[in-house]
Structure 1
């Protein structure tokens, strides 16, 4: 059972669950920290729910670093793991992460719930702001009259100014809205509502 086999089944389930929800966007390989890491599948609506796949053929070598970064950015996370990794994964992931077990049954991949995900207790505003492209963050600063002095600064200064000028709930809403409506993703999709 390969990553692609698990991903195909997971994506079909996610698409079916959100088929009637026009306020949801599903993005594969969502880049975090400007590409330092990528979430396998992200569901963006009133929250950002990331799904990380570790199939039977994968290792858990990168998981500790992914845990660290995903826990700064994502509202919810579900680890979709091959049965052979379940025990070790349970030892290292945070208690608020959900777990689904991927198994091969009768030639088909089946995803079974092991633990429900909960809301991230400690997201980091700066890392969330870094989901925006520099130009998007600058546009938001311009709209708020906060761009003076940072237009030519490195992107970190732009994100820091955005974070200092907004509450965490407002920042999270803004980032979700921008991600849902980003026009030039790898695959073109229709715009969605920013209503939460």
Structure 2
């Protein structure tokens, strides 16, 4: 039996072979659920939910609703126990990857290719970005910084002013460049700047 921990690293290798330039973000909070894997592609975000043979479908319907709001494409990655029934549990635009043990190693098979998610909520998708990343997008599109406004306000302005076809690549660019070692410092600096502006 393959467990989640057995699947992850080989899955990342498989995805890199299939897609080339990718960035993997694990355990990303989205709504009331947590995405097992977010795969950043040059012009799309792809969510992947892993259901190993040790897992059940108990939380899947809620997870599907959350994935559908955030990502351009979604996949479910399932062990052999779930392979025959998984199609009943995910929308028909979700891709399906099966995984089984071959000579002690996980082997992946593309059962169904993902199609573009018709339910993606662009406000939620942009909400995956941190405030300094949104500032970069504002700068790239010659928008005001709206320093004293909320993150939701800024997202609404971006969606109003920037064409979606341009945002696909810009959101991916920010996530490709995300540096977890410096972002905390950037966020603190941004909040301090915003606070000083309010005090003035």
TM-score range, shorter chain: 0.7 to 0.9
Deviation at 1:174, TM superposition (A): 1.4
Matches of 2:139 and 2:13 in 1, distance apart?
A: 39
| SS of structure 2 residue aligned to 1:57 | coil
| SS of structure 2 residue aligned to 1:56 | coil
Q: Does 1:180 align with 2:185?
A: no
Within a 5 Å distance, the mapping from 1:1-196 to structure 2 comes to 1-18=2-19, 21=20, 24-29=21-26, 31-33=28-30, 37-147=34-144, 150-184=146-180
TM-score (norm 1): 0.78
Normalized per residue, which structure has more helix?
A: 2
Deviation at 1:139, TM superposition (A): 3.6
Instruction: In structure 1, list runs of 5 or more residues that go unmatched.
Output: 187-196
Q: Would the aligned equivalents of 2:96 and 2:112 in 1 still touch at CA under 8 Å?
A: yes
Deviation at 1:44, TM superposition (A): 1.9
Deviation at 1:158, TM superposition (A): 1.9
Distance 1:140 1:87, change over 3 A: same
Instruction: In structure 2, list runs of 5 or more residues that go unmatched.
Output: 183-200
Distance 1:172 1:135, change over 3 A: same
Matches of 1:168 and 1:41 in 2, distance apart?
A: 20
Deviation at 1:15, TM superposition (A): 2.7
Distance 1:99 1:47, change over 3 A: same
CA radius of gyration, larger in: 2
What are the Cα deviations for residues 29-53 of structure 1, in whole angstroms up to 9, with x where unaligned?
Answer: 1625489522424142232233221
Distance 1:41 1:139, change over 3 A: closer
What are the Cα deviations for residues 143-178 of structure 1, in whole angstroms up to 9, with x where unaligned?
Answer: 545336x42233222212211221222222211111
| SS of structure 2 residue aligned to 1:58 | coil
Matches of 2:82 and 2:88 in 1, distance apart?
A: 10
Matches of 2:157 and 2:60 in 1, distance apart?
A: 31
TM-score (norm 2): 0.77
